[in-house]
Amino acid sequence: MPWFVIGFIAVRAAGSLGLLPGATRVALANASIFLMTAAMAAMGPHTQMAMLRKAGLRVVYAGLGAFAGMAAPSFALIHLLGIV
């Protein structure tokens, strides 16, 4: 298992157990957003548009399906658990 996954699980467990002060949780949440944005931006230049055009719309549909498959349950759980 990659080291960053172990670190992610450890930090998430510490947050769930209330071991992190509020300011630290806010800082980690902001860092998470920044790092995810940086990772997405880093993948962009490596995407070959010619390859996507060759693959056709099925790639787009697969991506949209994967997004919907993650977004819908996440949205439902956020509202069901009253997180927002």
What is the mean pLDDT of each successive set of 10 residues along the chain, which is 84 residues long? 83 89 89 87 81 84 93 94 84
Q: What is the pLDDT of residue 78?
A: 93
Is the CB of residue 22 less than 8 Å from the CB of residue 5? no
Q: What is the pLDDT of residue 64?
A: 92
Q: Is the pTM of this model over 0.85?
A: no
Three-state SS string over the chain comes to: CCHHHHHHHHHHHHHHCCCCCHHHHHHHHHHHHHHHHHHHHHHHHHCCHHHHHHHCHHHHHHHHHHHHHHHHHHHHHHHHCCCC
- Both tokens of residue 61? 């549909």
| Residue 38 to residue 42: CA distance in whole angstroms | 6
Q: What is the pLDDT of residue 48?
A: 81
Q: What is the pLDDT of residue 81?
A: 92
